[in-house]
């Protein structure tokens, strides 16, 4: 029997068993192309057609049955896990659903804008920041900002995953305006460069190596989800995993770095460029980082679940930016430990039950 017929039989059998008619259509449809792209990304461009078909079907199964995105299929090592092991991981789809129920939609819309985030949390940035969304309104402030700084960092006002982040060296204002209009049509955030403390810079000096602390507020209590640190690679000025960076889980009690990995599933003990040990690295003033994250979580009363990116400088911990949706993928990937049991124990209910409870009582 040909491989394609075998796969078709498997897919149709699964459809009959589960009643999900979309499964067959999914495999044969548009998302099949995405499955092939992810298979090549994680397994190499020279992957055979048979392997693409095999992993494509398994990715589709992981998506339909467990809600895993295609990259999660590889990052969480789907094929190594039993059914119960797979259920332990909280995929992004479920995390997004959780966020939508816990935080009001208006929160996501408001804080997707980096300028709005800065206006709420400016006391915690401890550096010069200038949001620009309209030249008519913001040009004078931006001109004054440029006059003060020979170099600064630019971020898209609504950007994510480190995309569009770059360092600008001062140019004439007219040339700068033209460049920024072309590259950031929705607006941008201009920030004074963060000078990170040498202890964190040793990991990777080209990027500001931030920690992400995700918090969930329940009344007066603030729960801290498993945190992690990110660091750049090569000459990258950003530390985001989506831009090839390394991430590593941090022990909440001690601030000591545990396992480290990247989105391709590579595991690290030391940083490949600097040679500095990642595993066992002690985050300085860890208790103060936790205190800052908890303080930030109380600034906006209706913002219950959030991720806080913090940087360590000579002045101590500062806020880099906020994420209205937090994330679990970096901790789960680096440790290969699912987060569901701990999260549901904290919530006192299953994820599904808790989301229903919040909708009624919030």
Question: Is residue 347 one of the residues assigned to a domain?
Answer: yes
Which domain does 142 fall in, by range?
128-192
Q: Do 201 and 186 have their domain in common?
A: no
**Distance between CA atoms of residues 309 and 303, nearest Å:** 16
Decide: 170 and 150 in contact? Cβ < 8 Å.
yes
Q: Do 107 and 248 have their domain in common?
A: yes
117, HSE (Cβ side, Cα atoms, 13 Å): 28
Domain count, the chain: 3
Q: Do 143 and 179 have their domain in common?
A: yes
Q: Do 35 and 179 have their domain in common?
A: no
Q: Do 74 and 205 have their domain in common?
A: no
Question: Is residue 93 one of the residues assigned to a domain?
Answer: no
Q: Do 108 and 255 have their domain in common?
A: yes
Decide: 131 and 138 in contact? Cβ < 8 Å.
yes
Q: Do 156 and 201 have their domain in common?
A: no
Question: Is residue 201 one of the residues assigned to a domain?
Answer: yes
Question: Is residue 122 one of the residues assigned to a domain?
Answer: no
| Residue 203 neighbours by CB under 8 Å, 6+ apart | 209, 229, 231, 271, 274, 276, 278, 281
Tell me the pTM: 0.84
With the CA atoms of 144, 149, 151 and 156 taken in that order, what torsion angle do they form, in degrees rounded to the nearest 10?
Answer: -40
For 242-290, what is each residue's pLDDT tens digit? 667 899 999 999 999 999 998 888 899 999 999 999 999 999 999 999 9
Q: Do 216 and 320 have their domain in common?
A: yes
Q: Do 26 and 141 have their domain in common?
A: no
**Distance between CA atoms of residues 72 and 67, nearest Å:** 9
Q: Do 213 and 301 have their domain in common?
A: yes
Q: Do 108 and 77 have their domain in common?
A: no
Question: Is residue 123 one of the residues assigned to a domain?
Answer: no
Give the residue carrying structure tokens 């906006």.
300
Domain boundary among 192, 224, 247: 192
Count of CB atoms situated within 10 Å of the CB of 355:
18
**Distance between CA atoms of residues 306 and 209, nearest Å:** 19
For 128-184, what is each residue's pLDDT tens digit? 999 998 888 888 998 999 889 988 998 988 877 667 788 888 767 777 888 888 888
Tokens of 82: 């039993």
Count of CB atoms situated within 10 Å of the CB of 174:
8
Per-residue tens of pLDDT for the chain, all 362 residues: 444 444 445 444 544 444 344 444 455 555 667 778 888 888 888 888 888 888 888 888 888 888 888 889 999 999 899 999 999 999 988 888 888 888 887 888 888 889 889 999 999 999 999 999 888 888 899 899 988 998 899 898 887 766 778 888 876 777 788 888 888 888 888 999 999 999 999 999 988 999 999 999 887 889 999 999 999 888 777 666 666 789 999 999 999 999 999 888 889 999 999 999 999 999 999 999 999 999 999 999 888 899 999 999 999 999 999 988 888 888 999 999 998 999 888 887 777 677 666 655 45
Q: Do 221 and 276 have their domain in common?
A: yes
Question: Is residue 11 one of the residues assigned to a domain?
Answer: yes
């Amino acid at each position: 029997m040909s491989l394609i017929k075998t796969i078709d039989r498997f897919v149709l059998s699964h459809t009959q068993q589960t009643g999900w008619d979309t499964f067959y259509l999914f495999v044969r449809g548009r998302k099949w192309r995405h499955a092939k792209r992810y298979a090549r990304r994680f397994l190499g461009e020279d992957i055979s057609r048979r392997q693409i078909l095999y992993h494509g079907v398994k990715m589709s199964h992981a998506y339909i049955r467990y809600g895993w995105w295609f990259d999660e299929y590889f990052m969480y090592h789907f094929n190594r896990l039993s059914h119960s092991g797979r259920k332990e991981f909280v995929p992004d789809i479920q995390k997004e659903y959780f966020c939508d129920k816990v935080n009001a939609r208006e929160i996501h819309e408001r804080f997707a804008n980096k300028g709005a985030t800065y206006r709420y949390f400016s006391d915690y940035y401890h550096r010069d920041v200038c949001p620009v969304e309209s030249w008519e309104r913001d040009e004078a402030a931006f001109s004054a900002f440029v006059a003060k700084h020979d170099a600064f960092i630019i971020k898209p006002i609504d950007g994510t995953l480190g995309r569009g982040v770059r360092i600008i060296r001062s140019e004439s204002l007219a040339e700068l305006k033209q460049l920024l209009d072309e590259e950031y049509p929705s607006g941008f955030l201009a920030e004074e460069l963060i000078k990170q403390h040498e202890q964190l810079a040793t990991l990777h000096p080209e990027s500001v190596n931030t920690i992400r602390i995700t918090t969930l507020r329940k009344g007066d209590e603030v729960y801290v989800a498993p945190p992690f640190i990110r660091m750049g690679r090569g000459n990258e000025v950003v530390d985001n995993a989506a831009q090839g960076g390394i991430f590593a889980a941090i022990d909440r009690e001690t601030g000591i770095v545990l396992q480290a990995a990247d989105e391709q599933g590579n595991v690290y003990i030391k940083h490949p460029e600097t040679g500095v040990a990642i595993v066992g690295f002690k985050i300085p003033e860890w208790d103060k980082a936790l205190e800052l994250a908890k303080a930030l979580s109380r600034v906006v009363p209706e913002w219950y679940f959030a991720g806080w990116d913090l940087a360590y400088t000579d002045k101590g911990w500062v806020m880099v930016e906020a994420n209205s949706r937090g994330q679990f993928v970096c901790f789960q990937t680096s440790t290969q430990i699912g987060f569901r049991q701990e999260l549901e124990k904290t919530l006192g209910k299953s994820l599904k039950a808790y989301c229903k409870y919040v909708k009624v009582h919030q």
